[in-house]
């Protein structure tokens, strides 16, 4: 299942100042001799990246490292995932080639859909608006200094990932469509590449019929069932018994509908993937300590040939237990993308285990019993400190997401897999993605968001350093092991039975997140971290909560949003107790918004101690009444806090969202 385990602060990251970025230097005067060398300071970095997407170019200006507002050859990144000019055609001898100059020139001007033929103008305008809702955001893996073995693994796995994208396109019924979009229709090509479908998907354009990568073409029937059965509202009901199998498509046979295993339906493509996985396995030396990864690659290759995904799952779980430095999940998993939610979608999540998270685990593990005792004391009777395990998710730094894992906007930041079978029954593996929203653009967006809500003094303590977020993420996940959890019973009843599923789920997350706030102080007192580190984490955690509050308390179908509600409860408590204060007159740190928050860090520990005790005691005693009271006060209340939540939402959501693009840095 995909879920927002612990979504980072930035659910809505993007380029700050998109369209209004740094001012380009004045263009050369017309009297300039015609042979003057082209300059690369005529478009801001944010505009360059957005316009490169509008021209369907797999190019990205990483960062203006030397701060000269000029694109330098070593700042240009080529992106993974779609075809474009080869890098050595763009840069030669450390300088840009005339071929790059020709590519750069059109990017100095804003894309103008009104220049399109009248009949196509509405479509081009809509496509531009679609792309404008997702700012290209770089996920870059630095391979400089990587071993030959690692480079070989990456080469084969990314080749397999490209093939997986094709299989997923077949599942979506869109394979071959990109070739039908003219090369000159770059807005359409980019929409198709980003969305993996010809229709628009961003919030402001998804219902606009003009917004289509191919004029007049809507969402095609999926490739998983015969096109002719996909009519009306109830056609999925036919997909029962063998037809509902997760790893088969449905085809028309002699006797009606029948299931056809993926390995038959997509035989040639899956075989090609298996070959790459075998090659990746072969690249790992027999005596290497990545033997478990090698075994998974081999088992996955086998599954791509025989459809036995459960055997691959066993090797996959073992790879996690063996402490591989890699994370790879390749195969069919989630079902949300297709109308019947039955057929597992092919995807790749390829990542490296975050080394900082391993350090944190090793630091916290010896303290687990002491942390459990501290929490048990706050929880009070009848809860007793127990012998706790220390099962943490894998914290992973994404290299490439492909197929069903590659979202048009935003990204899955937590996932538990597999969805079925004995490995799933045994708990499966849970991952938290730690490198998304940590790039410089996302950091800038985050600081822009917090500067619109914090007053200057608090904003000064706000850090976008990924290390700060990592610590609190690890503390949150560690806390799921501590105190009363899902297995804990009060008078024979589990939390689900006492509180009901949604409330129980919210409380478990509220426990984990409040414990993260509490344990940061606790660790500082124990001398395990500095007071400054604890303080930095508090401010960051407030920003994290603001990001969730901005997403609203209930989904469109009325179900409670777990992280939003816990955030509103925590921040509401801090507000009610004077830790989080609102000054309606003061200017926010951005200098433009009026009214801003300050955090009284001196008052923080005592109030958090009380909140932690309240949450733990409610779980320990099964106190439904108290949790209902908390929800009534801080989630559903119509008071000053509710007004402030609306302010948080309005200011936070101004930033456009991130559309992640991937790159492997080799030089
Ligand atoms: Zn959690």
Separation of 485 CA from ligand 1 center, angstroms?
Answer: 11
pLDDT per residue as tens digits for the range 351-377: 999 989 999 989 999 999 999 999 999
Q: Tell me the average pLDDT across 529-535.
A: 95
Q: d(Cα 453, Cα 7) in Å, to the nearest integer?
A: 19
- State yes or no: pLDDT of 17 exceeds 80: no
- State yes or no: pLDDT of 22 exceeds 60: no
Separation of 172 CA from ligand 1 center, angstroms?
Answer: 32
Q: Which residues surround ligand 1, an ion (CB under 5 A)?
A: 509, 512
Tell me which DSSP letter residue 73 carries: G
Separation of 636 CA from ligand 1 center, angstroms?
Answer: 22
| Chain-centroid distance, C-alpha 299 | 27
**What radius of gyration do the chain's Cα atoms show?**
26
- State yes or no: pLDDT of 37 exceeds 90: no
Separation of 244 CA from ligand 1 center, angstroms?
Answer: 32
pLDDT given for residue 406 in this prediction: 97
Separation of 544 CA from ligand 1 center, angstroms?
Answer: 13
Tokens coding 35 = 């042979």
First to last CA, the chain: 37
Tokens coding 13 = 């990251």
pLDDT given for residue 15 in this prediction: 26
Separation of 306 CA from ligand 1 center, angstroms?
Answer: 36
Q: d(Cα 641, Cα 568) in Å, to the nearest integer?
A: 9
pLDDT per residue as tens digits for the range 223-239: 999 999 999 999 999 99
Residue 494's Cβ-count burial label (10 Å; 0-12, 13-18, 19+) is middle
pLDDT given for residue 26 in this prediction: 47
pLDDT per residue as tens digits for the range 233-268: 999 999 999 999 999 999 999 999 999 999 999 999
Task: Indicate the pairing of strand 594-599 with strand 429-433.
Answer: unpaired
pLDDT given for residue 391 in this prediction: 85
Shortest CA distance to 507 belongs to which of 522, 494, 492? 494
Separation of 98 CA from ligand 1 center, angstroms?
Answer: 52
Q: Tell me the average pLDDT across 17-29.
A: 39
Q: Tell me the average pLDDT across 483-487.
A: 86
Number of neighbouring beta carbons within 10 Å of residue 661: 25
- Contact by Cβ (8 Å): 318, 422: no
pLDDT per residue as tens digits for the range 301-328: 999 999 999 999 999 999 998 989 999 9
> What sign does the dihedral 366-369-370-371 (CA atoms) show?
positive
pLDDT given for residue 49 in this prediction: 97
Separation of 251 CA from ligand 1 center, angstroms?
Answer: 41
Confidence of residue 7 (pLDDT cuts 50, 70, 90): very low
| Chain-centroid distance, C-alpha 310 | 26
pLDDT per residue as tens digits for the range 492-511: 999 989 998 889 999 999 99
Q: Tell me the average pLDDT across 92-98.
A: 95
Separation of 563 CA from ligand 1 center, angstroms?
Answer: 9
- State yes or no: pLDDT of 562 exceeds 70: yes
Separation of 36 CA from ligand 1 center, angstroms?
Answer: 58
- State yes or no: pLDDT of 271 exceeds 50: yes
Separation of 512 CA from ligand 1 center, angstroms?
Answer: 6
Helix/strand/coil for 555:
coil
Tokens coding 303 = 């599954």
Which helix (H) or strand (E) segment holds residue 479: the answer is helix 466-479
Separation of 349 CA from ligand 1 center, angstroms?
Answer: 21
Separation of 515 CA from ligand 1 center, angstroms?
Answer: 11
| Chain-centroid distance, C-alpha 114 | 34
Q: d(Cα 454, Cα 546) in Å, to the nearest integer?
A: 11
Mean pLDDT for the chain overall = 92
Tokens coding 230 = 């996909």
Contacts of 245 (CB under 8 A, 6+ apart): 259, 342
Separation of 509 CA from ligand 1 center, angstroms?
Answer: 5
pLDDT per residue as tens digits for the range 416-456: 999 999 999 888 999 999 999 999 999 999 999 999 999 99
pLDDT given for residue 1 in this prediction: 60
Tell me which DSSP letter residue 108 carries: T
Separation of 615 CA from ligand 1 center, angstroms?
Answer: 15
pLDDT > 70 fraction of the chain, expressed in percent and rounded: 95
Separation of 35 CA from ligand 1 center, angstroms?
Answer: 61
Q: d(Cα 502, Cα 485) in Å, to the nearest integer?
A: 14
Number of neighbouring beta carbons within 10 Å of residue 325: 12
Separation of 556 CA from ligand 1 center, angstroms?
Answer: 22
Task: Indicate the pairing of strand 256-261 with strand 134-142.
Answer: unpaired
- Contact by Cβ (8 Å): 48, 21: no
Tell me which DSSP letter residue 238 carries: G
Separation of 3 CA from ligand 1 center, angstroms?
Answer: 10
- State yes or no: pLDDT of 644 exceeds 50: yes
Tokens coding 26 = 């004045």
* Range in 19-33, 98-112, 285-299, 487-501 the model is least confident about: 19-33
pLDDT given for residue 667 in this prediction: 84
Q: d(Cα 261, Cα 332) in Å, to the nearest integer?
A: 12
Separation of 477 CA from ligand 1 center, angstroms?
Answer: 6
Q: Which residues of 553-562 are buried (b: 16+ CB within 10 A; e: fewer)?
A: beeeeeebbb
pLDDT per residue as tens digits for the range 632-642: 999 999 999 99
pLDDT per residue as tens digits for the range 42-68: 999 999 999 999 999 999 999 988 888
Separation of 469 CA from ligand 1 center, angstroms?
Answer: 14
- State yes or no: pLDDT of 627 exceeds 90: yes
Confidence of residue 35 (pLDDT cuts 50, 70, 90): low
- If phi over 0 gives left and psi between -120 and 50 gives alpha, with beta otherwise, what is residue 84? beta
Separation of 476 CA from ligand 1 center, angstroms?
Answer: 6
Comparing 19 with 40, the larger pLDDT belongs to 40
Separation of 416 CA from ligand 1 center, angstroms?
Answer: 12
Separation of 628 CA from ligand 1 center, angstroms?
Answer: 20
Separation of 6 CA from ligand 1 center, angstroms?
Answer: 6
Shortest CA distance to 596 belongs to which of 580, 604, 584? 584
Residue 515's Cβ-count burial label (10 Å; 0-12, 13-18, 19+) is buried
- State yes or no: pLDDT of 481 exceeds 50: yes
Q: d(Cα 245, Cα 252) in Å, to the nearest integer?
A: 15
Q: Which residues of 122-145 are buried (b: 16+ CB within 10 A; e: fewer)?
A: bbbbbbbbbbbbbbbbbbbbebee
Contacts of 562 (CB under 8 A, 6+ apart): 4, 502, 505, 506, 509
- Contact by Cβ (8 Å): 108, 44: no
Q: Tell me the average pLDDT across 463-483.
A: 93
Separation of 371 CA from ligand 1 center, angstroms?
Answer: 17
Q: d(Cα 505, Cα 523) in Å, to the nearest integer?
A: 26
Which helix (H) or strand (E) segment holds residue 433: the answer is strand 429-433
Tokens coding 296 = 């998974």
Q: d(Cα 460, Cα 539) in Å, to the nearest integer?
A: 10
| Residue carrying the six token digits 């996940």 | 477
pLDDT given for residue 23 in this prediction: 38
Separation of 373 CA from ligand 1 center, angstroms?
Answer: 20
pLDDT given for residue 292 in this prediction: 96
């Amino acid at each position: 299942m995909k879920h927002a385990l612990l979504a980072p602060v930035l659910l809505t990251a993007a380029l700050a100042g998109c369209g209004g970025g740094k001012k380009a230097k004045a263009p050369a005067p017309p009297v300039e001799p015609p042979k003057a060398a082209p300059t690369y300071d005529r478009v801001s970095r944010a505009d360059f990246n957005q316009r490169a997407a509008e021209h369907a170019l797999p190019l990205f200006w990483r960062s203006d490292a030397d701060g000269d507002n000029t694109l330098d050859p070593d700042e240009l990144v080529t992106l993974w995932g779609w075809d474009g000019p080869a890098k050595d055609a763009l840069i030669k001898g450390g300088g840009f080639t005339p071929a790059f100059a020709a590519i750069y020139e059109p990017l100095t001007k804003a894309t103008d859909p009104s220049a399109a033929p009248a009949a196509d103008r509405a479509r081009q305008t809509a496509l531009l608006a679609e792309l404008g809702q997702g700012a290209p955001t770089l996920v870059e893996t630095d391979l400089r200094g990587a071993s030959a073995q690692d480079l070989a693994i990456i080469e084969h796995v990314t080749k397999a990932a490209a093939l997986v994208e094709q299989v997923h396109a077949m599942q979506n019924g869109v394979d071959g469509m990109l070739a039908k979009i003219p090369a000159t229709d770059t807005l359409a090509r980019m929409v198709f590449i980003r969305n993996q479908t010809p229709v628009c998907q961003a919030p402001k354009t998804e219902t606009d019929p003009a917004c289509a990568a191919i004029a007049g073409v809507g969402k095609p029937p999926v490739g998983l069932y015969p096109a002719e059965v996909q009519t009306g509202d109830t056609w999925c009901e036919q997909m029962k018994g063998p037809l509902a199998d997760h790893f088969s498509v449905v085809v028309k046979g002699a006797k009606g509908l029948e299931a056809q295993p993926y390995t038959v339906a997509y035989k040639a493509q899956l075989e090609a993937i298996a070959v790459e996985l075998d090659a990746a396995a072969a690249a790992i030396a027999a005596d290497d300590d990545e033997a478990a990864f090698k075994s998974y690659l081999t088992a996955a290759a086998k599954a791509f040939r025989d459809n036995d995904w459960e055997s691959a799952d066993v090797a996959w779980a073992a790879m996690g237990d063996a402490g591989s430095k890699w994370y790879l999940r390749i195969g069919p998993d989630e079902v949300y993308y297709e109308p019947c939610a039955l057929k597992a979608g092919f995807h790749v999540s390829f990542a490296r285990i975050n080394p900082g998270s391993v350090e944190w685990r090793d630091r916290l593990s010896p303290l687990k019993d002491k942390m459990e005792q501290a929490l048990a004391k706050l929880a009070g009777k009848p809860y007793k400190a127990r012998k706790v395990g220390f099962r943490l998710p894998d914290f992973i730094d994404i290299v490439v997401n492909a197929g069903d894992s590659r979202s048009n906007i935003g990204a899955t930041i937590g996932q538990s897999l597999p969805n079925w079978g004995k490995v799933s029954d045994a708990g499966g593996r849970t991952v938290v993605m730690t490198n998304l929203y940590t790039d410089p653009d996302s950091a800038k967006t985050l600081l822009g968001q917090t500067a619109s809500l914090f007053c200057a003094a608090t904003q000064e303590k706000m850090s976008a350093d990924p290390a700060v977020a990592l610590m609190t993420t690890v503390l949150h996940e560690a806390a799921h092991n501590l105190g009363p959890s899902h297995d804990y019973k009060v008078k024979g009843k589990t939390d689900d039975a006492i509180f009901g599923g949604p409330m129980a789920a919210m409380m478990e997350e509220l426990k984990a997140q409040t414990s993260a706030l509490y344990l940061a102080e606790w660790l500082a007192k124990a001398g395990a971290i500095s007071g400054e580190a604890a303080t930095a984490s508090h401010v960051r955690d407030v920003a994290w909560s603001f990001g969730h509050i901005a997403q609203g308390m209930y989904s469109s179908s009325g179900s409670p949003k777990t992280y939003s509600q816990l955030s509103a409860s925590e921040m509401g408590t801090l507000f009610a107790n004077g830790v989080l204060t609102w000054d309606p007159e003061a200017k926010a740190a951005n200098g433009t918004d009026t009214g801003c928050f300050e955090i009284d860090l001196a008052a923080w520990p005592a109030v958090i101690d009380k909140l932690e005790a309240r949450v733990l005691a409610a779980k320990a005693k099964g106190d439904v009444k108290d949790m209902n009271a908390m929800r009534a006060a801080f989630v559903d209340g119509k008071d000053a806090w509710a007004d402030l939540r609306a302010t948080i939402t309005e200011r936070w959501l101004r930033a456009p969202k991130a559309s992640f693009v991937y790159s492997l840095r080799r030089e």
